[in-house]
Amino acid sequence: MTTLPPPKVKKAPEDSLESKVYSMVETFKEYIPTPSDRNRLSYCLFKYLNGEGDAPKILLKTSKINYEGISKEELAKKLDEELTKIK
């Protein structure tokens, strides 16, 4: 039995909204140590900016993001501040 190579991934342009959101969430690496949690949060925040998702305060509860060293309210506030810079 053979294994096929993974599908090619097309990177988003650096100036796109999606790239900006993913880069912004990477800055919170000290509070959200798990890469999959950061990716999930980035995706949810990207959907939020496109009008399809919930605000950061709600996202942290519903998407079960594991965070440490900061309270949920403080993290949500920091995320809101960073999102206003991106918009």
In Å, what is the CA distance from 21 to each residue of 5, 6, 24, 29, 86?
A: 28, 25, 5, 14, 8
pLDDT tens readout for residues 24-36: 999 999 999 999 9
pLDDT tens readout for residues 50-74: 999 999 999 999 989 999 999 999 9
- Whole-number pLDDT of residue 1: 62
Task: Please give the distance of CA 23 from its chain centroid, rounded to a whole number.
Answer: 8
**12 pLDDT exceeds 90?**
no
Rounded mean pLDDT of the chain? 92
pTM for this model (two decimals): 0.85
Q: Where are the alpha helices (DSSP H) in the chain?
A: 17-26, 35-49, 56-62, 72-86
**All structural domains of the chain with their residue ranges:** 17-86
- Whole-number pLDDT of residue 14: 86
